[in-house]
Amino acid sequence: MSTPVSSLRNLGPATEAACARAGIPDAETLRALGADETYRRLLASGTRPHFISYYVLHMALMGRPWNDCRGKEKEALRLRFDALVAGVAAKRAPDAPPAGIEAILNDIGVLPAPPV
């Protein structure tokens, strides 16, 4: 029997839907993957990176309130988040269209056109 992702403290329907898009169907799978691999899969499936959602996921897996993350613990998670986001971005195909804020900036003409 599977347990909904939204049954974990701090995680709601939006996180549950994002996990489903990333191939993470339930809380058991999320727990088995851990926060870093889950977040890597969320990013790879198109979720925009956001530090708060990353540390909320960590807190959820520990059963702690989301706002319990402070000080050195939060600083350490920020370093891990930055490395994770950079690693996912580095694996994107060089000719892939921009994503996230870069896509928006590209749409309004702020970014230079890619070389042809």
Span 51-86, pLDDT tens digits: 999 999 999 999 999 999 999 999 999 999 999 998
pTM of structure: 0.76
Angle at 85 between CA 79 and CA 88, to 5 degrees: 140
Neighbour tally for 18: CB within 10 Å = 20
Q: What is the pLDDT of residue 101?
A: 66
Q: Which residues does 4 contact at the CB level (< 8 Å), separation at least 6?
A: 16, 26, 27
Q: Average pLDDT, stretch 94-106?
A: 63
Query: What are the residue ranges spanned by the domains of the chain?
Result: 5-107
Tokens of 11: 């995680």
Under DSSP, the state recorded for 94 is T
CA 84, 59, 22, 50 torsion-angle sign: negative
Instruction: Indicate the CATH number for domain 5-107.
Output: 1.10.150.20
